Amino acid sequence: MQPIGVAEPFQSSGETSVTLDVGFGIRAVPASRVTVPAGETLRITAPKMGDGTTYSWTKNGRALPGTFSNILTLTGVNSSDAGTYACLFSTPTTLPASSQSLILGVGPTDRLLNLSTRANVGSGADQGIVSGFVVGSSTQGKKLVIRAVGPSLAAFGVANPLRAPVLRIFDGSGKTYENGYAYPAVVGGPTYESDLADSLTRAGAFPISAGTRDAVVMMPFAPGSYTAQVTSGDGSAGPVLLEIYEVP
């Protein structure tokens, strides 16, 4: 299965790749989001269309001169590159139509603030989506929030989103990763719920309503390789958004 709007999370090569979807007004395609470290190379790929198609890229709605390919490469990304990117497709007989947009953020060199992957999950147990990510060995570990947003996508106009996403995290050896924070039983002290709400706000995550069947976990991650997997919990199928946020 080819993920839609996926940012490859492995940073060892110094390059992040994002593949965009198209909707052309026929179906809703929420913007893809990615935040990469300053100095990274970012490669954005729009779908390859038919013969005779002309490609041009925009940033914040304005044309980027000299962009004639379905691939846009930003080398040595810096804070001025942050913004919203999209590819326009046109032919001699059609008006320009836009790809899915990408909202780019640029963070410090030792952080990858968030990854966002939208894809369709099938009804079978082996028809999920998988995203790998790495916590660098030069760090003391990271506090991450990982979400599989299904039902809440309906608020963005996504038709028939995955009703009951199941989110599982595995470590580098393929074992289920289970970790957590301790919250002292102090009146008025922090709880997992209050810490999660505060962490999501600080990470810049869009809010989701309480009581939904969207899956959310917040855990400490030691340096190493990990995998996030999303499958269907009730045999249904549909689009889901897999997000990984680093909490500052």
Q: Does the pLDDT value for residue 127 go beyond 50?
A: yes
The total number of residues shown for the chain amounts to 248
CA distance linking residue 48 with residue 99, whole number of Å: 11
CATH 2.60.120.380 is right for the domain spanning 116-246: yes
Unique residue bearing structure tokens 């993920």 = 3
pLDDT, position 121: 92
List for the chain the helix, strand, coil content (%; round to 5): 10, 45, 45
Under 8 Å between Cβ of 10 and 134: yes
Q: What tokens does 79 get?
A: 């804070």
Specify which residues 85 forms β-bridges with.
59, 102
pLDDT tens-place string over residues 215-247: 999 999 998 899 999 999 999 999 999 999 988
Q: What is the pTM of this model?
A: 0.59
Range(s) of the chain covered by CATH 2.60.40.10 = 6-106
Under 8 Å between Cβ of 171 and 177: yes
If one counts every other C-beta atom within 10 angstroms of the C-beta of residue 197, the result is 13
Under 8 Å between Cβ of 112 and 246: yes
Average pLDDT, the chain: 84
Range(s) of the chain covered by CATH 2.60.120.380 = 116-246
**Region for 154 from its dihedrals, namely left if φ exceeds 0, alpha if ψ lies in -120 to 50, beta otherwise:** alpha
Q: What tokens does 82 get?
A: 């942050």
User: Range with the lowest mean pLDDT among 26-35, 62-71, 101-110, 209-218?
Assistant: 26-35
| Pairing mode, strands 32-37 and 102-107 | parallel
pLDDT tens-place string over residues 154-164: 988 889 999 99
CA distance linking residue 88 with residue 91, whole number of Å: 10
CATH superfamily for domain 6-106: Immunoglobulins (2.60.40.10)
